[in-house]
Amino acid sequence: MPLKYSIRENMAPGNSILEKFRNLADIGMEGIEITTSSCAAHAGEIRKASAETGVTPNILSIRGSMGLLDARLEERKRAAQDLKDALTLCGDLGGVGVIFPPLIAIKLQHGRRIPDLSPFATTAHLESRLLTEILKHEIGPHAQACGCSVIIEPLNRYEQWWPCTLADALEICNAVDSPGVTLMADFFHMSIEESNMAEAIRSCGKRITNVHLADSNRVLPGYGHTDFAPALQALNDIGYEYFSGFECAIPPGSDPKAELRKSMDYLDDLR
């Protein structure tokens, strides 16, 4: 099954939304992950660019708080609303979902972590229970109603405490058990945290609804030492049908369109 390629908005060559969509269509890229333009004010422009080019806005981003697990109730409420707003926009634009790394805002953006309440409960236990409850009763149903999902992203241990592996994210999805809550496989983070990337992918199967592509040095695939072939085969084995998005650096001073097409060809040749 051929990969459907996507790219983060900030990486796409072009000075406007329409120009970015046109450039991606020129090189045969089918999707774009909307980041800085992920708000209702840009919805009409995105919809028009997609209709003209056939490029899908497959991922929308949260523009606001990501502190869904912050110790402060008011911050959690604000984060929940910001996430639901992003999911609403995603559904309106025909996207797959909204990426959500549960603890990045707490670890890297000066959030306030839930305190350890041992022996009653540890911080990790409280975070897991809280996330499950919010996703099951509030976020998951909203995402399902919008026709998309909140996509749990495991990150390496230096960016969030948990989830770090696909198994961690799968545990969340299984606990919630809703089509509105899925997970993603990011090859860069997996290269740090997974002992076997291919087996991690196979273990998650249809729960995976997004993939991020980057080599070991977080440059375009083909510029580092990651062995992509086994993981790409695993995607084929699970019948993966969603987008695989570039989230990495393009070599400076190069022609972005040429480099992106080169990396797409490199990955295609490995399948």
Cite the DSSP H helix spans in 135-180: 140-146, 166-176
Mean pLDDT of the chain: 97
pLDDT tens digits, one per residue of 97-111: 999 999 999 999 889
With a cut of 90, say whether residue 124 has pLDDT above it: yes
pLDDT at 133 over 80: yes
Contacts of 38 (CB under 8 A, 6+ apart): 60, 61, 62, 63, 86, 89
Q: What is the pLDDT of residues 84-94, one digit of tens each?
A: 999 999 999 99
Distance in angstroms (rounded) separating the CA atoms of residues 108 and 229: 32
For domain 4-270, the CATH class is alpha beta
pTM higher than 0.95 for the full model? yes
Residue 1 in this model has a pLDDT that exceeds 80: no
Position 102, amino acid: P
Evaluate if residue 74 carries a pLDDT over 80.
yes
What b/e sequence results for 23-43 when a residue is b if at least 16 CB atoms lie within 10 Å of its CB, and e otherwise?
bbbebebbbbbbbebbbeebb
What average pLDDT does the segment 48-70 reach? 97
Give Cβ neighbours of residue 269 (< 8 Å, ≥ 6 apart): none
Tell me if 199 sits within 8 A of 168, measured CB to CB: no
Measured distance CA(131)–CA(172) in Å, rounded: 8
What φ, ψ does residue 156 adopt, rounded to 5°? -65, 160
pLDDT over 80 (residue 227): yes
Mean pLDDT of the region 22-42: 98
How distant is the alpha carbon of residue 139 from its chain centre? 16
> What span, in angstroms and rounded, lies between the C-alpha atoms of 265 and 242?
18
> Residue 110 has what pLDDT?
86
pLDDT band at 271 (very low <50, low <70, confident <90, very high): confident
- List the structure tokens of 17: 């939304």
Antiparallel, parallel or unpaired: β 97-100 and 4-7: unpaired
DSSP 49-101: HHHHH--EEEEE---S---TT-SSHHHHHHHHHHHHHHHHHHHHTT--EEEE-
**Residues marked as catalytic:** 153, 247
* Per-residue pLDDT band at 158 (split at 50, 70, 90): very high
CB 189 within 8 A of CB 228: no
Task: Over range 207-211, report the average pLDDT.
Answer: 98
Token pair listed for 133: 């409850």
Question: What is the average per-residue pLDDT within 171-198?
Answer: 98
Residue 18 and residue 49 in contact, taking contact as beta carbons nearer than 8 Å: yes
DSSP 8-state assignment for residue 136: I
DSSP state, residue 135: I
